[in-house]
Amino acid sequence: MTARPQPLRGTSTHPSHRPVEPALGYEMAVPIVGTDSAGVFISWLIGQELHTMVTNESIARVGIDPDGVHQQRVAGRRLRCHLRHFRDLVEPAWLEVTMPELRWIGTSLGTVRDLEVMRDVLSACAASLPSTDVQHLEPLFAQVTHERNRAHADLQRALDSDRYVQLLASLTLAAAETPLIDDVRQSALDLAQSTAARAVARLDKSVQRLGPTPTDIDLHFVRLRAKRARFASEAAIPLIGNQARKLAKSLANVQSVLGTQHDAVVAHHWVRAHALHEEPSVNFSAGMVAGLLRNASQQAAREFPAVWNKASREKLRSWL
């Protein structure tokens, strides 16, 4: 390698917590009030995420700034999460068409993003190794770069496709007026509160099921539930205000710690699989990286109880 990688956010022992930032669409100055109907609220949320997808598309296409792919992916995830929460209110025929299409473009975005995260995680670990060992990791960095570039080319083709254009057209119509089932009488405020309450309750149950030594799969499942509860809480911010914002921030901390744990586990498996048939010098250095990654995942797992205790405080849930 021509330059020694630098540790992420000042740590030399394990990857730092992955930032979990709100999608840009929530910064739009579009009015929504609690007395609006549930249908208006759903359409408004679709519009926010659609705006984020469209405004970050050009950045994602170029591929130099990874934030473009990240923001598009987050918007798609939010949108799928919202529609899953509202599946009893939205016309089933529209969901049957839209959800698979969102998963399709989400897979293309996710493949690129996951490899970019992999590259950053490996760089953070390599930064703590002696320079002689870092140079032996060049084949692994070359491989992850190759896989990422290939995935980005696939993403560009997806964004150029008629299929993607049709998805955006469908979302644009839904942002104006979402196809709902008959007799949706809830207000926007009631829907936001009840949706967040259900998502948080599901998260609580998943945490309660954890044993004293949860597995990587157990923590991964909790991470997904924390993400959904956070999305639901953030969706309520324009209607609830600071109470929803504080809960969402605490849930984002939970998601960040468990995201770090998950990233380290995935990278650990990737390194072991790709180093298996390399030269002994590469295998040795990769083994050192694998050890760092395992330590990082275990450290993040140990940090989980503390961040969960903060996120589960009753005063954060008083608005639910």
Q: How would you write the pLDDT of the chain (320 residues) with one tens digit per residue?
A: 333 333 333 333 344 454 444 443 334 446 788 889 999 999 999 999 999 999 999 999 999 999 999 999 999 999 999 999 999 999 999 999 999 999 999 999 999 999 999 999 999 999 999 988 899 999 999 999 999 999 999 999 999 999 999 999 999 999 999 999 977 789 999 999 999 999 999 999 999 999 889 999 999 999 999 999 999 999 999 999 999 999 999 999 999 999 999 999 999 999 999 888 788 888 899 999 999 999 999 999 999 999 999 999 999 999 99
How many angstroms separate the Cα of 124 from the Cα of each of 168, 178, 264, 304? 37, 44, 11, 21
Say if residues 258 and 222 touch (Cβ distance below 8 Å): yes
- Does residue 37 sit in helix, strand or coil? strand
Dihedral over alpha carbons 180, 186, 189, 191 (to 10 degrees): -60
93 part of a folded domain = yes
pLDDT number for residue 185: 84
Q: Does residue 8 belong to any structural domain of this protein?
A: no
Q: What is the pLDDT of residue 15?
A: 42
- Total domain count for the chain? 1
Sole residue written with tokens 């950053």 = 120
Give me the pLDDT at residue 240, please: 95
Q: Is residue 9 in some structural domain?
A: no
| Residue 272 covered by a domain | yes
Are the C-beta atoms of residues 201 and 226 closer than 8 Å to each other? no
* Residue 27 placed within a domain: no
Q: Which of 78, 107, 96, 105 is nearest to 167 (CA)?
A: 105
Q: In terms of residue numbers, what domain contains 309?
A: 33-177+186-315
Q: What is the largest CA-CA distance in the chain?
A: 68
* 121 in a structural domain: yes
Q: How many CB atoms lie within 10 A of CB 25?
A: 24
Output the domain CATH number for residue 168: 1.40.20.10
- Tell me the pTM: 0.88
Report H helices in the chain: 38-55, 57-62, 67-85, 92-126, 131-134, 138-160, 162-176, 188-208, 216-235, 237-240, 242-275, 280-311
pLDDT of residue 25: 39
Q: 134: how many CB neighbours lie within 10 A of its CB?
A: 22
Flag whether 222 is in a domain.
yes
Q: Is residue 171 part of a domain?
A: yes
Closest CA to 308 of 228, 223, 234, 241: 223
What is the end-to-end Cα distance of the chain in Å, rounded? 52
